[in-house]
Amino acid sequence: MANLHILDHPLIQHKLSLIRDKNTGSKDFRDLVEEVAMLMAYEVTRDFSLQDVEIETPVAMATTKMISGRKVGLVPILRAGLGMVAGMLRLIPAAKVGHVGLYRDPETLKPVEYYCKLPPDVEERDLIVIDPMLATGGSASAAITFLKQRGARNIKLMCLIAAPEGVEAVDRVHPDVDIFVAAVDKHLNEHGYIVPGLGDAGDRLFGTK
């Protein structure tokens, strides 16, 4: 699939194994999710354009490069997407953060919206939707649809772990969206959980359950 990018850097894969381990407690889980999000941000921003700038080093004038004026927005899907925000802001500190609150109904597995607060100029920004888990794809698809309804056009999706079903679902509804993941797992189980996955990302981040 042309718009699926699997980020297989050794540091990302090593940390993802620790995140998956059921014996990793909430504090380490949070730290690792933040670190992996930061490492993934490095790849997700690879296509940012550069412009020449003139600077004076202690030795000479130089023509060098800086990121050109695109504005960036991060859009975590609540709750679990919050765990990835701080790591991404370490690399993209000028980004504004919008929040979309969705939970997945445990019976129907359909997303239910409960919150949406976005930067006012969302249509001018390059948006990165973030959520650790892409399972059926319902939540990510719904979040991207909200953003498009509010005028956003340039949207990427970044998740730690995806199920093949979720990648296909997002690609079917939003073929214009590039999807960045650290791993595509085997399948979903009968409760809609990714196998082998990491369990419930929100519960593991925040110690609920």
Ligand X SMILES: O=P(O)(O)OC[C@H]1O[C@H](OP(=O)(O)OP(=O)(O)O)[C@H](O)[C@@H]1O
Catalog residues that contact Mg ion under the rule CB under 5 A.
Answer: 200, 202
Q: According to CB under 6 A, which one of 19, 36, 92, 133 is a site residue for ligand X?
A: 133
Whether the CB-CB separation of 69 and 118 falls below 8 Å is answered with: no
Of 113 and 121, nearer to ligand X (C-beta) is 113
**Per CB under 6 A, which of residues 6..65 are in contact with ligand X?**
none
Whether the CB-CB separation of 16 and 182 falls below 8 Å is answered with: yes
Element (H, E) at 185: none
Of 176 and 203, nearer to Mg ion (C-beta) is 203
Query: Judging by DSSP bridges, how do beta strands 99-104 and 125-130 pair with one another?
Result: unpaired
Q: Which range in 3-11, 52-60, 89-97, 132-140 contacts ligand X by CB under 6 A?
A: 132-140
Return the structure tokens found at 88: 């991404």
**Alpha carbon distance 17, 73 (integer Å):** 28
Query: Using CB distances below 5 to 8 A depending on partner kind, what does residue 131 bind out of Mg ion, ligand X, ligand URA, none?
Result: ligand X
| C-alpha distances out from residue 1 to 70, 133, 155, 167, 196, Å | 27, 19, 17, 9, 22
Q: Which range in 3-11, 64-72, 88-96, 126-134 contacts ligand X by CB under 6 A?
A: 126-134
Q: According to CB under 6 A, which one of 135, 157, 158, 179 is a site residue for ligand X?
A: 135
**C-beta of 60: minimal distance to ligand X in Å?**
50
Of 80 and 184, nearer to ligand X (C-beta) is 80
**Contact status: 168 vs ligand X (CB under 6 A):** no
Q: For residue 95, give the nearest of 124, 77, 73, 110 by alpha carbon.
A: 73
**Alpha carbon distance 204, 133 (integer Å):** 12
Query: Judging by DSSP bridges, how do beta strands 71-78 and 125-130 pair with one another?
Result: parallel
Query: Using CB distances below 5 to 8 A depending on partner kind, what does residue 194 bind out of Mg ion, ligand URA, ligand X, none?
Result: ligand URA
132 is in an annotated binding site: yes
Please give the annotated binding residues, written as ranges.
79, 104, 131-139, 194, 199-201
Binding site for ligand X (CB under 6 A): 77-80, 103-104, 109, 111, 131-140, 166, 192, 200-202
